[in-house]
Amino acid sequence: MGAYLRLLGAVWTLTRNDALLPFEADPYYPAGVRVLARALRLVASRRSGRPGERMARSLETLGPVAIKVGQLLSTRGDVFGPVFAEDLGRLKDRLAPFPLAQARAEVERELGRPIEAVFETFGEPVAAASLAQAHDAILRDGRRVAVKVLRPGIERRVQEDSEALALAGRLVARWWPLARRLEPEALAATVIRATELELDLRLEAAGADELSEVMVLDGYMSTPRVIWDGVGKRCLTMEWAQGMALSDPAALEQPGLDRKVLADNLTRAFLAQALDHGVFHADLHEGNLFAAAPAHLYAVDFGIIGRLGATERRYLAEILWGFLRRDYIRVAQVHFDAGYVPAHHSVAAFAQALRAVGEPVFGRVANAVAMSRVLTQLFEITALYEMRLRPELVLLQKTMMTVEGVARRIDPEHDIWAAAEPVVKRWIARELSPITRIKQFAGEADAAIRNIARMAAPVAVEQTPPTSQRPLAWFAMGAAMAGAVFLLAALVL
């Protein structure tokens, strides 16, 4: 019952702020929706401000999960309009902070020491988001750091929001047949799980440490170092990030900043993390990114980490590579191989549909592409070919959408395909080369031989197979070795 009440409360809040079906969009509603919107507007008592301001006000009231949605929407000014996105931008890191005294108490409780034993100074909050806020502090050794502290009572609020979100997923799946292919219940579960993991800052510290090792290999992006002495479940200390947060409008006006290279670095950093290492920062909105001249990017807030298995990485790389070469048949075939499109459809027909999406945008700069039209067309095509949402790819798709939106804001002429090509080409050359395939087959053959040997080995002395059966085991092992040699020879030749 509590989840139902919270869900109704969310609808009431959106309606009261005229953010559910805003009056500014009346000309675009179908006749039936327009009548409903006007009826709901009779109870709207807080209609002041632009649609984005009213939406931000509503989402801030509704809690952390709703704010996460607003953060995603705020990165897509090309879809929802720049003014709407800018109005939602305050949800990234400019929410109301909780008192300094509470933050100090939380840190002391987590670290088990007086705050003066760790920090020379511990200042007021410099940024406040949905789950936590950050404080400017100086360590006893003189280093400047940022201390992230969870909001008091946030765990209970997230649990309540999660129950309402799970209920919404079930209701959508039950009553809206057209949305079932989007797997609303699985989508809700993925969002809930990712948010729950954000509530343990020890895990975030580990994620930041892991990704710092990954980032240094390419140099497209960096992250401040974790100060492990200042880490607890509810607090996290990291060295101060250089540059200015991209959520600050002045960040892109810094002297000497190369916006084109900065946008390219963002796209390449994300793809290198996902493709080369299978682990990526999955919350790359402007509030979590700092920029410094000439084109240095620093990431913070590693509460949401995405991971891809080897198979998913190969499918992603081949799809991107196919688009880069405009080989729509290959892109279509990969979708079928991955099971993204049901087998009863035609590969050639799906390739034709992909061409209709890809050709109008290929090689064009970002500000020449109406992304809202592209997304609408993609949604229509995926529905036509019964493509369902893949829960294991939700974080990847969400991050891709965010990264592309942020890169467009950094450089309105950003060419995502040109930026992606070096990373994807490198992956293809390395992972799909004959030498790599030989190594893969050799590894598989070695594993097969070991498994056969274990099957042929005696379990115990008294169970040793008769001498007459031993040649069969050796014959099986020899056949496996011969097969492996044959595969390697075929690849080489």
List, by residue number, the catalytic residues: 283
| Residue whose entry in the numeric block shows the structure tokens 């994620």 | 207
Task: Strands of 263-344 (E only): list them.
Answer: 279-281, 289-292, 296-299, 305-307
Three-class SS string for 386-419?
CCCCCHHHHHHHHHHHHHHHHHHHHCCCCCHHHH
What is the 8-class DSSP label of residue 236?
A: E
Look up residue 476 and give its two tokens. 């099986």
What does 94-106 look like in DSSP terms, one character per residue? BSPPPPHHHHHHH
Residues in a beta bridge with 138: 121, 144
With H, G, I as helix, E, B as strand and everything else as coil, classify residue 133: strand
CA–CA dist 207, 395 (Å, integer) = 15
CA distances from 192 to 33, 164, 188, 195 (A): 30, 10, 6, 5
Dihedral sign for Cα 348, 350, 355, 356, please.
positive
Torsion angle of the four alpha carbons 285, 288, 293, 294, in this order, in degrees rounded to the nearest 10? -50
CA–CA dist 281, 490 (Å, integer) = 40
Alpha-carbon 292 to chain mean position: 23
Contact (Cβ atoms closer than 8 angstroms) between residue 152 and residue 102:
yes
Look up residue 11 and give its two tokens. 């609808």
Which parts of 25-181 fold into alpha helices (H)? 31-40, 51-62, 64-74, 77-80, 82-88, 90-93, 100-111, 154-175
Contact (Cβ atoms closer than 8 angstroms) between residue 259 and residue 292:
no
Query: Cβ-count burial of 84 within 10 angstroms (0-12 exposed, 13-18 middle, 19+ buried)?
Result: buried
> Residue 410 carries which side chain, given as an amino acid letter?
I
In the chain the first and final C-alpha atoms are separated, in Å, by 67
Phi-psi category of residue 431: left, alpha or beta, with phi > 0 → left and psi -120 to 50 → alpha: alpha
With H, G, I as helix, E, B as strand and everything else as coil, classify residue 59: helix
CA–CA dist 407, 293 (Å, integer) = 16
